[in-house]
Structure 1
C-alpha cells in the first residue's frame, strides 16, 4: 500500500509542462495554479512516507528527482515547497555511486536522449573528431528539443553536479556531460546561462585530467566563447559576467601555471572576446559593458604583467566613464567598477604607469570635481563610495609613480586647494 501511495505522490509532483513556456508567467491556467497550491501538502506527505518505508535505489532516485524539482526559485515553487524539498533532500546529502548512477541513467538522461549533442560520443562522453550528422548536424540538434517540455530538467542536473564525488566522475562522465552541453549550446540565452552555471558547478569537483583526456575542456571553452557573443538578450549581462568568470576558471584549471597555453587562452579571453568583441559591439549596452568590467579584476590578476599589451585599449575604456559629458550621466556603479579594474592594472603594470599617469590623474580629478559639484543630487552613499575608490586609485598610482606627488597632485592643490584636499589627503 505504501509503495502505491509513493508512486501516486511522485506522479502528482510532476511539474506541468505549462511552466516550460518561454515566459514563466504566461500560459499558466487556474488548474495549474491549483496544482501548485497542493504541492506543499504532497511534499509533506512524501517526507512522512519516506521515513516510514525502506526505499530501493530506484525509489530513492525517484524521490530525489521529485524533491530536486522544487529545490530552486522557480515559478512553480513557493517558500514552503522549497523548504520541504530541502528537508527531504537532506536525507540524501551524501549519495553513493549506485544512487547517482540510477538518478542520472533513469531520471535525467532520458529527458535529453532525443536531442543528442553532435560533438559528443553518447557512450563515452568524449569529444568526437567530427560532428555527428556532418555540417548540418547542429540543425538536427535544435529540432523538437523535447527536453524543454520538462521545466525542472535544469534543477535535476544542478543537484547531481553538486553531489557527485570527484572520484565518481570517471564512471558517470558519459551521463553527466550531455545534459550540460545541451544547455550550454542551446540557442536561447536563458538556457545558455543555466549551462554556464552548470559548468561553474562542474569545475568545483571534476578532475582536471578527465576534462583534458576526453577533449571536453576545449569543447566547453568554444561554447563559452559563443556565449560571449550573445549581447542582445535581457539576461545577456548575467551571461557575459558568468561566462567570463567560468572561462577564466576553466583555463586556470586545465593549463599549467605560467605556460604559453595558459597565457594564450587568457589573452584570447581579454583581447579577442572582451576588448575585440564585447566592447566593440556593445558600446550602447550599459548592462553588458558593466558586466564585462565587473569581470576584469580576476582576469587582470591572472594575466599579471601580460596586461601591458592591452593598456592602449584598457585604460581609455576604463577612464571613459569617469569623464563628465554634457547631458549624459554615467552610472556610478560603472564608474566604481572601472576604478576597481584600473587599480588592478596599476598594481599589475607598475613600470608602464609613468606613461599614463597624466591621463589617469586628469580623468580622476574631473570625476572628483563632478562628484563634488553634484553633491545635492543622487544617492550620497554611492557618491561617497565613488570618492573612496577615486582616492584609492590615486594612492595606488602614487605608490608606483611617486613623482605625481610633487607634480600632478601638488598642481591640483595649487589650482583649487579646497576642492582637491580630500582627494590627495595623506598622499600629497
Structure 2
C-alpha cells in the first residue's frame, strides 16, 4: 500500500471514544479529529482519480469511506457527501472484493466473540448453543468489536451491494456479524442489528434462510427485541422489529399456510398485545411505535385479526377519547385510526358488534377537535383519518348510515355532517 494512501486511511480511523461516554477533553479532541476528516476525504477522492489499487487496498478504501455513510456523531453532511462520492467508484464490487471486505475488514472484528448459536464456518444454526447453556456469557464478555463503532456502517454497505446469487458463497461471512448486533444486550446495538436484518431480507434468497435455519434464529432474536421496553430507544426498536419480524415470516413461509398464520398470530397476539400493550401502559412512546407498525401486519393477517378484536378495538379507540386535564397525542391518534381503519376493512363481517364502540370514540374525538381553535397540519390529518374511519365503517356496516350517523347529524348538523357526510351520500340531512 502506498504511503500516501496508508496515511489517509489511518487518519480516517474512527476513534473508539465515539462508542463510549465522553469527557469534555475527549469531546474537544474528537471535534478536532472530525474537522480534519473533510480534508482527508477530499484528498482520498483526488487520489482515486490518478491510481488503481489492489483488491485489499480497495477494501480498505471502502471500509474507511463507508464509515462516513450513516447517521453517527462523527459524520457531517459534508463528510457524508464526500464519502458517497468515493463509494460511487465501487458501486459494483467484485466477488473477490466483497470477500476481502467481509473477511478482513469486518469479520476480523467479531472473531473474538463468536455467536454461540452459529457455526461460524458455514453460517448455519447450531443444533445446540456452543458452550452449552452458559455459552452466552463468553459471547457478552470480550466484545472487542465495540471498539470499532464504524463496523455497522461498513456491514450495512456490504449488505446493500451483495448480489442475491452471491449469498450462498458469502453466507458464512454475512450472518455472524448481523446476529452479533441483533443479539447484543444493549438496545442501541439491537436496533442496528434489526436494521441489518431488514436490509438482509431485501436481498437474501428465501431458500438460504430456511436451509441454514437462520429464519427461526432471526424470529427468536427479534422476539427478544420486542421485550426491550425500558430504553430511550425502545420505541425505534419496537417499530423496526415489528416490521422486520413480519418480513421474515412473509419471506420464509408459504402464503396462506398454517405456519404463516401461526407466526403472524404469535407476532400480534403474543408479542404486541400480550407483551408490549400489557407491560407498556405507562410508556406511550412504546405503545405508539407498536401501533404505528401495526397496519401491514393487520393486512397480512386479514380476517384472522377477528380473533383479536376484543383487544384491538378497545386499544385503538382508547386514544381517541379525551381525558380531562390530560394532553392528547395527535400522533398516537392518527396511527391508531390508520390501524383501526384496516381492522374495519379486514373484519367487516364483525363490525356490527363493534360499531357503537368505534363511533363513540370517533365522535368524542371530533367534538374535542371542534372545541379547539387551533388548526395545524397534524390536526387536519387527524380530521382526515377520522373521516376515513367513518367511510370504512359505512362500507363494512351500511346500517350505520341510516341509524347511528343519522342520529349524530340530528344532534348537531353543522358539527357532524362534515364527519359522516362523505359516508352517506344518499342519506337526506347528511349532505
> Fold-level match, TM-score > 0.5?
yes
SS at match of 1:325: coil
Equivalence for 1:127: 125
**How far 1:222 sits from its partner (Å)?**
0.4
Aligned to 1:17: 16
Corresponding residue of 1:97: 95
Segment drifting more, 318-327 vs 216-225:
318-327
Aligned pairs for 1:108-187 within 5 A: 108-187=106-185
Q: Is the 8 A contact 1:61 1:107 kept in 2?
A: yes
What's 1:218 paired with?
216
CA spacing shift, 1:25–1:381, aligned 2, 3 Å: farther
Counterparts in 2 of 1:299 and 1:56: CA distance versus 1, 3 Å = same
Q: Which runs of 5+ in 1 are unaligned?
A: none
The secondary structure found in structure 2 opposite 1:330 is coil
Unaligned runs of 5+ in 2: none
The alpha carbon displacement at 1:370 in A equals 1.2
Matched, 1:386 2:385: no
2:408 counterpart (391, 398, 412): 412
Q: Which residue of 2 aligns with 1:88?
A: 86
1:421 is matched with 417
Q: Secondary structure at the match of 2:393?
A: helix
Range moving further from structure 2, 87-96 or 406-415: 406-415
Take 1:385 and 1:77, find their aligned partners in 2: how far apart are those partners? 34
The TM-score with structure 1 as length reference comes to 0.97
Change (3 A) 1:236 1:176: same
Once residues 422 and 52 of structure 1 are traced to their aligned partners in structure 2, the CA distance between those partners, rounded to angstroms, is 67
| Count of equivalent residues | 424
2:359 alignment partner in structure 1: 361
CA distance in 2, matches of 1:310, 1:166: 38
TM-score where L is the length of structure 2: 0.96
CA RMSD of aligned residues (A): 1.3
| SS of residue matched to 2:162 | coil
Q: Distance in 2 between matches of 1:416 and 1:36?
A: 62
Q: Decide whether the 8 Å contact of 1:238 with 1:291 is kept in 2.
A: yes
What is the alpha-carbon distance in structure 2 between the residues aligned to residue 113 and residue 140 of structure 1? Answer: 12
**Relative to 1, partners in 2 of residues 1:207 and 1:149: Cα closer, same or farther, differing over 3 Å?**
same
- Structure 1 residues 242-282: Cα deviation after superposition (integer angstroms, max 9, x where no partner): 00000001100000000000000000000000000000000
Shift of 1:197: 0.2
Alignment correspondent of 1:54: 52
Tell whether the 8 Å contact from 1:25 to 1:75 is kept in structure 2 after alignment.
no
Higher mean alpha-carbon deviation, 135-144 vs 38-47, is at 38-47
Task: Give 1:310 shift.
Answer: 0.3
Offset at 1:330? 2.2
Q: Distance in 1 between matches of 2:317 and 2:344?
A: 13
Query: How far apart are 1:50 and its partner, in Å?
Result: 2.0
Is 2:336 the counterpart of 1:330?
A: no
Contact 1:71 1:86 in 2 (8 A): yes
1:399 counterpart (395, 401, 404):
395
Distance 1:58 1:184 in 2: 28
Deviation of residue 195 (structure 1)? 0.1
1:24·1:75 contact (CA, 8 Å) conserved in 2?
no
Work out the CA distance in 1 between the residues paired with 2:65 and 2:326. 50
Maintained 8 Å contact 1:307/1:349: yes
Instruction: Tell me how far 1:30 sits from its aligned partner.
Output: 2.8
- Given that 1:71 and 1:155 are in contact with CA atoms closer than 8 Å, whether structure 2 keeps it comes out as yes
Within-5 A mapping of 1:181-330: 181-330=179-328
Deviation at 1:27, TM superposition (A): 6.4
Alignment of 1:7-46 (within 5 A): 7-21=6-20, 23=21, 28-46=26-44
Cα contact 1:118–1:138 (8 A) shared by 2? yes
Q: Retained in 2: the 8 A contact 1:44–1:84? A: yes
Whether the 8 Å contact between 1:61 and 1:102 is mirrored in structure 2 is yes
- After the TM superposition, which residues 335-350 of structure 1 pair with which residues of structure 2 at under 5 Å, given as runs? 335-350=333-348
User: Could you say if the C-alpha distance between residues 76 and 178 of structure 1 is closer, same or farther in structure 2, counting changes exceeding 3 Å?
Assistant: same
Q: Distance in 2 between matches of 1:421 and 1:13?
A: 63
What's the CA shift string for 1:292-331, capped at 9, x where partnerless? 1111110000000100000010000001011111222320
CA distance in 2, matches of 1:310, 1:25: 50
- For 2:10 and 2:360, locate their aligned partners in 1 and report how far apart those are by CA, in whole Å: 66
